A and B are shown apart, each in its own frame.
Chain A
Amino acid sequence: MKRQLAYFLVIFIGFLTLSGHFINYSPLNNFIDNDATQWFDIISGFAAFLGVVNLLQLHLNKISQKKDNWRYSIITLLGFLIMIFFGFIYNGSSVALGPHLKKEGSAFYWMFQNIYLPLGATMFALLAFFVASASYRAFKIRNFEATLLLISGVFLMIGRVPIGQLIPWWMSLEIYICLLFALIANRFKDKKKMLTLLTLSLLIFPILIFSLNLHDLALFKIPNLQEWIMDVPATAGSRAIMIGIALGTIAQSYRIITGREKSILGD
Chain B
Amino acid sequence: MELLNKIFIKLGQLDRRFIFILIGLSVLIPLLRPDWINIPIKTTSNSRIVFEELNSLKSGDKVLLSFEYGASTKPEIHPMSVAVLQHLFSKGIKVYTVPLWPEGLMMAKFAIEEVVSSNLFKVKEHIDYVSLPYKAGGEIIIRGIATDLRSIFTQDINNTLLSEIPMMNGVNNISDFDFVFDLSAGVPGNAEWVQFACDEYNIPLSSGCTSIMVTDAIPYVESGQIRGILAGMPGAAEYEQIVFEYLNKNRNNKYLNEKVSILPGKATSRMSAQSIAHLLMVVFIIFGNISYYLTRRDK
Chain A residues with a Cβ under 8 A of chain B: 33-34, 37-38, 41, 102, 117, 120-121, 124-125, 128-129, 132-133, 135-137, 139-141, 150, 154, 157-158, 160-163, 165-166, 182, 223, 227, 230-231, 234-235, 238-239, 242
Beyond A157-B278, A160-B231, A162-B272: 6 further Cβ-contacts under 8 Å? A33-B147, A136-B284, A158-B278, A165-B39, A238-B216, A242-B219
Chain B interface residue count, Cβ-Cβ cutoff 8 angstroms = 53
Those of B183-215 within 8 Å (CB) of chain A: 211, 214-215
Within 8 Å of chain A (Cβ to Cβ): is B29? no
Among residues of B, the one whose C-beta sits closest to the C-beta of A227 is B44
Bound Cα distance A188, B24 (Å)? 40
Chain B residues with CB under 8 Å of A231's CB are 218, 222
Among residues of B, the one whose C-beta sits closest to the C-beta of A120 is B72
Sort A-B residue pairs by CB-CB distance and give the 3 closest, nearest first: A162-B39, A163-B275, A121-B72
Bound Cα distance A41, B141 (Å)? 13
Bound Cα distance A230, B214 (Å)? 9
Most interface-central of B134, B143, B278, B288 (chain A CB within 10 A): B278
Chain B nearest CB from A73 CB (Å) reads 26
Within 8 Å of chain A (Cβ to Cβ): is B45? yes
Among residues of A, the one whose C-beta sits closest to the C-beta of B73 is A124
Pairwise interchain contact A140-B289, C-beta atoms closer than 8 A: yes
Report which of A124, A129, A161, A223 forms a contact with B20, defined as CB distance below 8 A. A129
Pairwise interchain contact B222-A38, C-beta atoms closer than 8 A: no
Pairwise interchain contact B215-A136, C-beta atoms closer than 8 A: no
Bound Cα distance A242, B221 (Å)? 14
Chain B residues with CB under 8 Å of A165's CB are 39-40, 42
Most interface-central of B19, B71, B143 (chain A CB within 10 A): B71
Pairwise interchain contact B278-A161, C-beta atoms closer than 8 A: yes
Report which of A37, A150, A161, A242 forms a contact with B275, defined as CB distance below 8 A. A161
Report which of B42, B45, B219, B271 forms a contact with A235, defined as CB distance below 8 A. B219
Chain A residues with CB under 8 Å of B285's CB are 135-136, 139, 150, 154
Chain A nearest CB from B299 CB (Å) reads 14
Chain B residues with CB under 8 Å of A121's CB are 71-72
Pairwise interchain contact B40-A162, C-beta atoms closer than 8 A: yes
Within 8 Å of chain A (Cβ to Cβ): is B293? yes
Those of B131-146 within 8 Å (CB) of chain A: 134, 136-137, 139-140, 143-144
Pairwise interchain contact A158-B216, C-beta atoms closer than 8 A: no
Pairwise interchain contact B288-A34, C-beta atoms closer than 8 A: no
> Known interface pairs A102-B102, A154-B285. Does A161 touch B274 (Cβ–Cβ under 8 Å)?
yes
Pairwise interchain contact B288-A132, C-beta atoms closer than 8 A: no
Bound Cα distance A121, B237 (Å)? 21
Chain B residues with CB under 8 Å of A140's CB are 288-289, 292
Bound Cα distance A44, B102 (Å)? 18
Report which of B19, B39, B211 forms a contact with A136, defined as CB distance below 8 A. B19
Among residues of A, the one whose C-beta sits closest to the C-beta of B157 is A102
> Known interface pairs A120-B72, A139-B288, A162-B39. Does A34 touch B140 (Cβ–Cβ under 8 Å)?
yes
Report which of B44, B216, B219, B274 forms a contact with A223, defined as CB distance below 8 A. B44
Bound Cα distance A139, B281 (Å)? 11
A to B CB contacts below 8 Å, 20 in the list: A33-B143, A34-B144, A117-B71, A124-B73, A129-B24, A132-B281, A133-B16, A140-B289, A141-B289, A157-B281, A160-B234, A160-B278, A161-B271, A162-B39, A163-B275, A165-B39, A223-B42, A227-B44, A231-B218, A242-B219
Within 8 Å of chain A (Cβ to Cβ): is B88? no
Pairwise interchain contact B105-A235, C-beta atoms closer than 8 A: no
Within 8 Å of chain A (Cβ to Cβ): is B282? yes
Contact with A along B77-117 (1 / 0, CB 8 A): 00000000000000000000000001001100000000000
Chain B residues with CB under 8 Å of A223's CB are 42, 44
Report which of B106, B140, B282 forms a contact with A154, defined as CB distance below 8 A. B282
Pairwise interchain contact A37-B231, C-beta atoms closer than 8 A: no
Among residues of A, the one whose C-beta sits closest to the C-beta of B26 is A132
Pairwise interchain contact B288-A137, C-beta atoms closer than 8 A: yes
Those of B21-75 within 8 Å (CB) of chain A: 23-24, 27, 39-42, 44-45, 71-73
Chain A residues with CB under 8 Å of B71's CB are 117, 120-121
Chain B residues with CB under 8 Å of A166's CB are 39
Among residues of A, the one whose C-beta sits closest to the C-beta of B292 is A140
Bound Cα distance A123, B237 (Å)? 25
Within 8 Å of chain A (Cβ to Cβ): is B279? yes
Bound Cα distance A235, B226 (Å)? 14
Chain A residues with CB under 8 Å of B292's CB are 140-141
Pairwise interchain contact B218-A128, C-beta atoms closer than 8 A: no
Among residues of A, the one whose C-beta sits closest to the C-beta of B37 is A163
Bound Cα distance A161, B44 (Å)? 11
Among residues of B, the one whose C-beta sits closest to the C-beta of A109 is B106
